[in-house]
Amino acid sequence: MTGKTMSGIRVGIALAGAVAVAAPALAQNEQFIPNLVYRTGAYAPNGVPFANGIADYYRLINERDGGINGVKIVFEECDTGYATDRGVECYERLKGKGPTGAAYVIPLSTGITFALTEKTTVDKIPIISMGYGRSESRDGSVFQWNFPLLGTYWTAADIILQHIAKKEGGFDKLKGKKIALVYHDSPYGKEPIALLQKRAQMHGFETLFLPVTHPGVEQKATWLQIRQNRPDYVLLWGWGVMNSTAIKEAVAVGYPREKMYGVWWSGAEPDVRPAEDGAKGYNSAALQHTAGQFKLHEDLKKYLYDKGLGAAKWEETGEILYVRGLINAMLGVEAIRTAQERFGKKPLTGEQVRWGLENLDISADRIKQLGFEGELRPIKVSCADHEGTRTGRIQTWDGKKWNIASDWLTSDDSVIAPMVKEAAAKYAAEKKLTPGCLVTN
């Protein structure tokens, strides 16, 4: 059987699986989770592996454990194409499905996250924006329904700057240096600017902000400016084709890839492979995990792939975005499990799952038990901290694979916390919100 036919069958299984689980009159002991994905469009090369990781984890929980404490997961995909309007449409269509409505929503887009933030407050459905979304949304007293788990963009930018400072011999050595940010001209791309400005003010380095318009296929002007301004480092905040184009353009203008640092959404295989050898030496932040298979894959093989139930090709299940999908789904499932301890082992409402997210506490032992050892560090969420952990690493592409290139780095909360407080207070004032922790009965 050819690879093409196989992949067609896999897509068929993925779709049929999603529909088959979703279609039958939704029995009462089922937990519905909408899955906003993009398997088509300009961002599909990045969207597909992430969607596969999520689908496989939910299916694994059903196949191996019979659901979450016996409550079967029912999920349905809706293709947003990474477009905000379609994302909102998907959310509206899926939010009320299942016996208790959507448990949570994973938008996989900062733009869609921005658009849904006010809607989900009304609908009482939590948003899990793992590694993206508004940076100030970690303040759970204002953003009661947003959970930017594992790290915000301010955390990402801070980790990268810490790594650069370490290389240079300390933050004081950054004085007089020039750091450029090549960013997707969207809410996502603009997120790190505030942190970079703050750090620039503190340490005396110069910044250069260079926007790239969607989808980022034409970056000649940007990279000529890089060549002409000769920044000491370039930070890349791109997504999809913008990333690979940026690396190719860096090659074309002779900018050293060793001096380039992408955010964790600019550090996956589809970002570097098109540039082939040109990407060698390129760095990116790692959202804790990196590429490669690990303990959980034994179960994935046994319960899904050996039975032909996997959504991806087996050899792709160690890729960064697939692994990220697994982690994201696992955090959601664990939040439901946490909430079940309080509200009972039954399908839960979004409001109850929100409580589970806000009380999520995954220890190192539990991470090991879940099969994710080495992929992420303990996470403890609270009303004051919807991020749960702000630790990451730097990885470097060697032409064939990603290698970890730093120790664990934790963003400096003495810098970020006041920024979060100020931005969240401003948001609360604009929206006439009274900050406070939400009580769920």
Partner 1 sequence: MLGPVLETLIGGLMTGVLYSLVALGFVLIFKASGVFNFAQGAMVLFAALSLARLSEFMPLVLAFAFSVLIMIALAYAIEFLVLRHLVNQEGIILFMATLGIAYFLEGFGQTLWGSDIYKIGLGLPTNPIFILESVFPGGLLIDPVELIAAIICAVMVLVLAVFFQVTRVGRALRAVADDHQAAQSVGIPLNQIWLMVWAVSGLVALVAGMMWGAKLGVQFSLSLIALKALPVLILGGLTSIPGAIVGGLIIGAGEKLAEVLLAPVLIRTFDLAGGGIENWFAYVLALAFLLVRPQGLFGERIIERV
Q: Which residue has the tokens 């059987």?
A: 1
Measured from the CB atom, the residue of 1 and 122 that comes closer to partner 1 is 1
Distance of CA 192 to the CA centre of its chain: 15
Give the C-alpha distances (Å, rounded to integers) separating 45 from 39, 359, 394: 8, 34, 22
Among 264, 244, 293, 268, which residue's Cα sits nearest to residue 49? 268
Among 290, 264, 265, which residue's Cα sits nearest to residue 411? 264
Among 343, 396, 334, 342, which residue's Cα sits nearest to residue 366? 334
Q: Does 44 bind partner 1 (CB under 8 A)?
A: yes
Q: Does 245 bind partner 1 (CB under 8 A)?
A: yes
Q: Does 225 bind partner 1 (CB under 8 A)?
A: yes
Query: Please, which residues have CB within 8 angstroms of residue 72's CB and are 6 or more apart in sequence?
Result: 21, 27, 29, 30, 31, 62, 66
Which of 9, 19, 23, 40 forms a contact with partner 1 (CB under 8 A)? 40
Q: How many CB atoms lie within 10 A of CB 399?
A: 14
Which of 274, 281, 292, 435 forms a contact with partner 1 (CB under 8 A)? 274
Binding segment toward partner 1, per CB under 8 A, in 222-230, 331-339, 353-361, 417-425: 222-230
Binding segment toward partner 1, per CB under 8 A, in 137-145, 207-215, 352-360, 378-386: 207-215
Q: Does 240 bind partner 1 (CB under 8 A)?
A: yes
What phi, psi does 416 have (nearest 5°)?
-80, -40
Measured from the CB atom, the residue of 184 and 393 that comes closer to partner 1 is 184
Which of 127, 180, 241, 330 forms a contact with partner 1 (CB under 8 A)? 241
Q: Does 234 bind partner 1 (CB under 8 A)?
A: no
Distance in Å, CB of 130 to partner 1, minimum: 23
Among 266, 264, 296, which residue's Cα sits nearest to residue 390? 264
Binding segment toward partner 1, per CB under 8 A, in 13-21, 139-147, 270-278, 390-398: 270-278
Q: Does 222 bind partner 1 (CB under 8 A)?
A: yes
Beta-bridge partner residues of 209: 181
Measured from the CB atom, the residue of 223 and 303 that comes closer to partner 1 is 223
Evaluate the omega torsion of the peptide bond into residue 215 and state whether it is cis, within 30 degrees of 0.
yes
Distance in Å, CB of 320 to partner 1, minimum: 14
Q: Does 39 bind partner 1 (CB under 8 A)?
A: yes
Measured from the CB atom, the residue of 155 and 244 that comes closer to partner 1 is 244
CB burial class (10 A; 0-12, 13-18, 19+) of residue 400?
exposed
Can you give the binding site for partner 1, defined by CB under 8 A? 4, 7, 39-42, 44-45, 48, 185, 209, 211-213, 215-218, 220-222, 224-225, 227-228, 240-241, 244-245, 248, 251-254, 270, 273-274, 276, 278
